[in-house]
Every structure is written in structure tokens, then in C-alpha cells.
Amino acid sequence: MKLVIKNLSKTYANGVSALQNISLTIPQGMFGLLGPNGAGKSTLMRTIATLQEADSGSVFLDEIDVLNDKQAIRERLGYLPQDFGLYPRISTETLLDHIAQMKGIGNKGERKELVASTLNKVNLYKERKKSLGTFSGGMRQRFGIAQAMIGNPSLIIVDEPTAGLDPAERNRFYNLLSELGENTIVILSTHIVEDVNTLCSSMAVICKGSVLMQGKPKEALDKVEGKIFQKAIQKSQLHEYREKYQVISTKLHEGKLSLRIESDGNPGNGFEQVQPDLEDVYFSLISTKVDLITI
Ligand code: ADP
């Protein structure tokens, strides 16, 4: 099974070109879609989830024409949107039953069993009579996963999932997601490199509506191997270093700036070579497209 996106474009009425000829092949497993805010991730996710129209291009899940056969894809889709604030007063159980019905599971008895087993999987069975409005951020996310996984979807889309979760909740969420990834295509859209690093076997980076890379994280790392150098400098020196070197990221550490640059050869001047990580790959790709970010 694979999802093939070809030449997908979308320009909003205000003239913003959110997707510019996007082509991606997404295999089974967890796929990380990385990009800074405004890159076009949500637009792409919503288009695949049939919630909005593209101007041109195609999306196929194997033989299913996603953009033209919306009902077929909706029956196979699990979608966890960025903001899951629907129906705060309905009980968890009732809402999940309703979602199962919308996904085409008509038999009431079958649905009841499915709802119970799904709530068990995400550890919310005990809270089944409570409404979403009473849940913590982590519980809401787990409900989000429950509603996305109900009905055995072959494609699951998760948009910016870990915002607002504390570290323990985030860990639980990661575990649940990676279980899902084994037999389905799970697209995880995020601006957090670590989420992709932890979970995804393949990935793409998009920025300003274009694909900057796609492949395996390891392949991406190989491209910058031996080219990343680091040095601690004073904050006031940043401008001078930016003029001279290809700065890919800066991090504040004990009041000084830890600067990472990309260079084909050893730059000298006190820089030391470091083992690249996925963040270096990401910042190296997007640094040519957006203003540098200080973390
Ligand atoms: P991301 O999810 O990567 O942050 P989005 O897909 O939300 O990116 O946005 C991509 C670009 O499209 C941004 O410049 C955003 O402001 C713009 N955009 C998103 N939705 C709309 C909309 N409904 N109308 C106009 N512009 C939009």
C-alpha cells in the first residue's frame, strides 16, 4: 500500500500559494511531514483528508482516487486534526459511536464492541461516560487517536499532535502512534524534529509550499555527515559569523550562543566537528528559505 501525491497545487483566494506542485510517495509505516509554521502542512493534510479542494494535481491511495472518490477514502481514513475541540458536552462513548457510524459501521452491536475495545486500547474505557470537555490535554489526544483508529483505517493523518502535552503524556502518545504505524500509513505532520526522529521510518521536509527533501532520516543524515561544525560565541558576535559562515542554527546555552554551521571543509577558527542530527538536516534545508531561528 502507498499514497502517491502528484503535482498538487493550491492557491488561496488571498493569493497565498500554500502548495506548489507537491509530489510525494508515502509508503506504509510512520511518515514524518516536517516544516515550519506556514509551510503548507495543514493544507496538504486537509486536502488528503478530503476536507478541502486542491487547484490541480492528484492523490492516489493505491487505486483509490482520493480527490475524486471522497466517500471511498473517508471510509479508510482516520484523521486527527490539530485542534480537537468538538462536542465538549457529549459522552466519550456516544461520540465514538457516532464517529464509527459515520465511517460506515451500521451494525449497532458491532459498534458497541468496537467502541469498547478502542477505548480500552487508549486507556479511556473507565472515562467512557465522561465528556471531552472534562478531559486533560493528554486524554483528549488519546481520544483523538481512538476516533482516528476506529474502523481500521488504512490511512491515518495526524496534524501537529504533541503541542500542549506534558512529557509523560507525549510518551504515551508516541507509543500509541507507533503501534498504529505497523499496518497502516500514518502521516505525522509536525514542526518538531524530535517527533519525526523518534517515530518515523521515512520523512519529507516542506517549506513555503515546496518539497525540500523526501526519504529516510538516515539518508538525510548521510548528506550532512562530516559537514556540521559547532562553536560557542558571544551573542554580540552572531552578525559577524552569519556574514562569514553558513549558519544553520543557534542555541542559547548558559548565556552564550552555541552556533552550528554547515561547511564542506574544516572552517578552523575554533570550530569543532560534530555528529549531525536530524535537526541539523532540517535547519540546513530550511535555512535557505526562512529567516534563522534562535532556539
Ligand atoms: P502549516 O500547517 O505548515 O503551518 P498551512 O497549510 O496552515 O501551513 O498554511 C500555509 C499557508 O497558507 C500560510 O501562509 C497560511 O497563512 C496560508 N493559509 C492557510 N489557510 C488559509 C486560508 N484558509 N486562507 C488563506 N490563507 C491560508
Q: d(Cα 60, Cα 36) in Å, to the nearest integer?
A: 26
Protein residue closest via CA to atom 22 of ligand 1: 12
Protein residue closest via CA to atom 20 of ligand 1: 43
pLDDT tens-digit readout, 225-284: 999 999 999 989 999 999 999 999 999 888 889 999 999 999 999 999 999 999 999 999
Name 94's bridge partners. Answer: none
Protein residue closest via CA to atom 25 of ligand 1: 12
Helix or strand (DSSP H, E) at 74: helix 70-74
Protein residue closest via CA to atom 7 of ligand 1: 42
Atom of ligand 1 at shortest range from CA of 191: 3
Q: In testing the pocket of ligand 1, which one of 42, 189, 210 has its CB within 8 Å of the most ligand atoms?
A: 42
Domain boundary assignment for the chain: 2-215, 222-286
pLDDT tens-digit readout, 12-22: 999 999 999 99
For residue 25, the tally of other CB atoms under 10 A from its CB is 13
Q: How far is CA 173 from CA 121, 153, 163, 216, 288, in A?
A: 12, 18, 11, 22, 33
More confident: 173 or 206: 206
| CB-based contacts of 273, cutoff 8 Å, min separation 6 | 226, 228, 229, 230, 266
Q: How far is CA 242 from CA 21, 43, 57, 288, in A?
A: 32, 33, 39, 13
Residues near ligand 1 (Cβ within 6 A): 12, 14, 16, 18, 35, 37-43
pTM of the complete model: 0.88
What's the whole-number average pLDDT of the chain? 90
Q: d(Cα 66, Cα 52) in Å, to the nearest integer?
A: 12
Name 62's bridge partners. Answer: none
**Domain at 2-215, CATH class:** alpha beta
Q: Is residue 288 pLDDT above 80, yes or no?
A: no
Q: Distance, CA 51 to ligand 1 centroid (Å)? A: 14
Q: Distance, CA 22 to ligand 1 centroid (Å)? A: 15
